[in-house]
Structure 1
Amino acid sequence: MAGVFVLFAVLLLCLCADVRAAVSTSPPNIIIMLMDDMGWGDLGILGQPEKETPQLDKMAAEGMLLTDFYTANPLCSPSRAALMTGRLPIRNGFYTTNDHARNGYTPQEIVGGIADSEVLISELLAQAGYRNKIIGKWHLGHRPQYLPLRHGFHEWFGAPNCHFGPYNNKDTPNIPVYNGSHMVGRYYEDFEISRSSGESNLTQLYVRSALDFIDRQAAAGRPFFLYWAPDATHGPLYASRGFLGSSRRGLYGDAVRELDDGVGRILGRLRERGLDTNTLVFFTSDNGAAMVSRTQGGSNGPFLCGKQTTFEGGMREPAVAWWPSRIQPGQISHQLGTVMDLFTTAAELAGAVPPSDRLYDGISLLPTLLNGTEVNRPVFYYRGNELMAVRYGLYKAHFWTWTNGEDERSKGIDFCRGEDVPGVTTVQQVNHTDSPLLFHLGRDPGERYSIKPKSSEYKQTMQKLKELVAVHRAGLVPGEPQFNICDSAVMNWAPPGCEKLGRCLKGPESKPYKCPWTH
């Protein structure tokens, strides 16, 4: 077994050496476009019948479509932390031990956030001479020590939390919007989002901010990293006036169409400034579409369930890579990839070397993007502190299954709306460790027909998968959990910059408590 892994490592080193020789000596610009709750099936090129993503479809036609690309967790904050660190949430601390297999994130009352001990890709790129900007949703902690300008970003326009609200600023403050290190207003007050019509100009502001950043970096002639993370497709949904009613899919479709248009404008600006041939742009999503949103949510295509679950619909994401002159147009890759690979890929492009004192879960995708190479590697599906499933090749084994509880479903909260599969989409946590549920995702992408445990196919496959899991567990050192403690006193009562605006609010006394994660 050890010999196989040594050979695998040598193969990767050789491939990466070939790739580095092909990459320009001028450091390439890097743009990561991370959507919010956008499903695999929301792109026209992936089968969405209304075909309302012409710019993304064009981007794929000019670059590479990755059909088997995954998030690291079926919820927003852990997924984003994994992207930024190249490490699973169980390693970087974005999980909870308050209960078994519970998804956690960073609402206003969370005390924790991204630890200083974690090294973010923004920090590595800053050290390599890049100018870095994040636009949109951060979600790695809202307290001052966790904000992006403390972690390698030079510029920021966006918010630390999701755009929930409006709140009364007494029990709960409205979420602040930052420009740089200081707030410039709050959602629903200075940055309007109509809860009746869904009208908001936020996506337009995020697009303009991206275009301005590109223009300034082009003029300065320096490499840049742009992390574009708009959140219009996360409920409550929003779109600007010019896009409201433009889709056959309702408000969610309006939001997708506006984001698609924004992608086209950003790629167009790169061409106008002559930066397209030296810029890698990677488009993906933080987790699957939210089935709980019913008609106000996206599509996960043929895959089972959605956001919050470790079924394919919760974790397989749309993914497109674009780099004219480097990535050959019209390619489709079935390479297993994850958001953590973006960390490793960006670091290699910049010539940055991550610290060697920790394990990383990402691999460089450059051999795939530039040479079309595909290598076998496992993908691990975590929900909170539990390894729920593993995929290798076309096989996926579930060690635990769970959607969400019957009490929530009775209230209309259903993460697998209309897709119940007996014995698979269980409403209680079911331990299958002794006899994992095994699926062949090529023959059965919907995870409906498990392979019989007595078959030779099952026995041979499970032997390999269990070996991979054993190796993974042997090297696993969980990080300090960041989602255990909550406190209303740490909400966004008085963010940096509130004094200048006269918008500071008085919060309650500190009363820490154990965060309740229901699913």
Structure 2
Amino acid sequence: AKSAKPNIIFMLMDDMGWGDLGINGEPSMETTNLDQMAKEGMLFTDFYSANPLCSPSRAAMLTGRLPIRNGFYTSNYHGHNGYTPQNIVGGIPDNELLISELLQNAGYTNKLIGKWHLGHQQQYLPLKHGFHEWFGSPNCHFGPYDDKTTPNIPVYNNTEMAGRWYYEEFTIEEHKYFSNMTQYYIEEALEFIERMSSEEKPFFLYWAPDATHSPVYSSAMFKGASRRGPYGDAVMELDYGVGKIINLLKSLGLDQNTLVFFSSDNGAAMIGSAFENGSNGPFLCGKQTTFEGGIREPTIAWGPGFVKPGQVSQQVGSLMDWFTTALHLANIPVPDDRFIDGMNLLPVLSGDNSFDRPIFHYRGNTLFAVRYGMHKAHYWTWTNSWEEYNKGITFCRGEYIANVTTHEQVNRTLDPVVFQLGRDPGEKYSMKSSLSEYKEVVANMKTIVNKHLETLKPGTPQFDWCDDAVMNWAPNGCEKLNKCLPKPKSNLQKCVWPH
């Protein structure tokens, strides 16, 4: 049975790189279900996250607005990334409208499975922001912690914690790269889809597993299955989950009335060794940077009723477009009381249209780069500080481009570094400033940036204040499990963001 309204599924991976899909050229060819999904749907080659880090990217996707607008940035430092660790005070503001809230108002039943990362204090959690159900975690699966100076992360089942993971009830055997969490996330998705089908209710499923975020993990079924090591095992298990979800939609007859988007929150991490990191294909650097490797994402749209099959689209897209596209699909008005950055991709999905649009790449509170057409202009260059680099932390492992991969923040506003991404997708050869093409691009970009800045009303920064007292000491439901921990005294301080 199916509802009259179209169903919507967002599949968002964590730190998965553009080069991790077989259909994008990964030599091991271990993503058979995703590759098939792309063949039956539309593969996007030039699709971007709204930020090179997890929390701001997710907030932008769910609000259709750049992080600088929705407050998912810090003003403590110039051009530094921030996110929502356990001690963050901020989270998604109540005055932001999430796609989940707009779909809820239109009669959809909404479920989040996996990582939230938009704030973990009670007022920021998913069920306060348009989701009816949630199984997953509010933070990254870092740990294990001692539950004294730092609590282990909770896993929520709807409004109450179901235990602490990943090192207590929900285990990750860290040095064995083992956990059953992805299997739980797959089972939760299948159960939800079957239940919505039987009840003939329109649904929004946000499936956000995090197995490809370090420390990576997979279950026994996939342990050692990949040619790529533990990271590849995690990718294979996620690919398996995608296949199970797509096949269930087909078997229930929901495929013609469901639109599925697949992507990643940012590029693959490139910290230290390649052992736990994905592939950014031909692109420069990785997560944390506004070079292509940090922000260009593996992206597929699938849905036989809405997506022309077998298409490869060079449409320049953004995760924020999912917000606007889903609203158009569900025939819900796009909010007109705020600036929405996302564009409607429905004409692109049907194979009828493509359009030019700029993509603004921020790092923290600073506009670092802009893409328009085939050109990309960098107004600031920076990978990470010399201090961090000298400790062995690099976001451009094995890659050095003179005057581009800089370890100081270099202001290039007056002489932007310009690449033509058709000729040079890896951003290896910056355009000579003496060329007429360079001058034309810079003049055009200046007009685009000035117009953007005219509409820019920064939100209240959510990543400025940290406090150990707000960590996951006593999540809702902890009493029933005897899992409440004593809360320390407040020590409100400005957050430290090294990158």
1:401 counterpart residue number:
381
Cα offset, 1:293, TM superposition: 4.8
Residue by residue over 1:85-137, the C-alpha shift from the partner in whole angstroms, topping out at 9 and shown as x without a partner, is: 00000000000000100000000000000000000000000011100000000
TM-score normalized with structure 2 length: 0.98
Unaligned runs of at least 5 residues, structure 1: 1-23
- Matched AA of 1:443: R
2:223 to 244, 249, 272: 244
Cα offset, 1:25, TM superposition: 10
1:33 counterpart residue number:
11
Worse-matched range after superposition: 205-214 or 294-303: 294-303
1:439 counterpart residue number:
419
The answer on 1:202 being equivalent to 2:181 is yes
- In the TM superposition, what are the counterparts of 1:108-257 in structure 2 within 5 Å? 108-187=86-165, 188-257=167-236
1:285 counterpart residue number:
264
Counterparts of 1:293 and 1:375 in 2: how far apart (Å)? 39
The answer on 1:53 being equivalent to 2:31 is yes
Contact 1:401 1:426 in 2 (8 A): yes
Contact 1:137 1:158 in 2 (8 A): yes
The answer on 1:259 being equivalent to 2:238 is yes
Residue by residue over 1:301-348, the C-alpha shift from the partner in whole angstroms, topping out at 9 and shown as x without a partner, is: 000000000000000000000011331211000001001000001111
Counterparts of 2:427 and 2:281 in 1: how far apart (Å)? 13
Contact 2:3 2:200 in 1 (8 A): no
Give structure 1 regions of 4+ aligned residues with deviation exceeding 2 angstroms: none
The answer on 1:300 being equivalent to 2:301 is no
2:344 to 364, 367, 392: 364
1:20 counterpart residue number:
none
Worse-matched range after superposition: 391-400 or 367-376: 367-376
2:472 to 487, 492, 511: 492
Contact 1:124 1:354 in 2 (8 A): no
2:21 to 40, 43, 50: 43
Residue by residue over 1:258-316, the C-alpha shift from the partner in whole angstroms, topping out at 9 and shown as x without a partner, is: 00000000001101111011000000000000011522100000000000000000000
SS at 1:161 equivalent? coil
SS at 1:371 equivalent? coil
Residues 1:258 and 1:25: Cα distance change in structure 2 (over 3 Å): closer
Contact 2:270 2:395 in 1 (8 A): yes
SS at 1:83 equivalent? helix
Identity of aligned residues (%): 64
Contact 1:31 1:282 in 2 (8 A): yes
SS at 2:413 equivalent? coil
SS at 1:145 equivalent? helix
SS at 1:65 equivalent? strand
Counterparts of 2:334 and 2:273 in 1: how far apart (Å)? 42
Counterparts of 1:508 and 1:25 in 2: how far apart (Å)? 49
TM-score normalized with structure 1 length: 0.95
Contact 2:3 2:201 in 1 (8 A): no
Unaligned runs of at least 5 residues, structure 2: none
Q: CA RMSD in A?
A: 1.0
Contact 2:378 2:417 in 1 (8 A): yes
Q: What is the aligned residue count?
A: 496
Residue by residue over 1:478-504, the C-alpha shift from the partner in whole angstroms, topping out at 9 and shown as x without a partner, is: 000000000000000000000111110
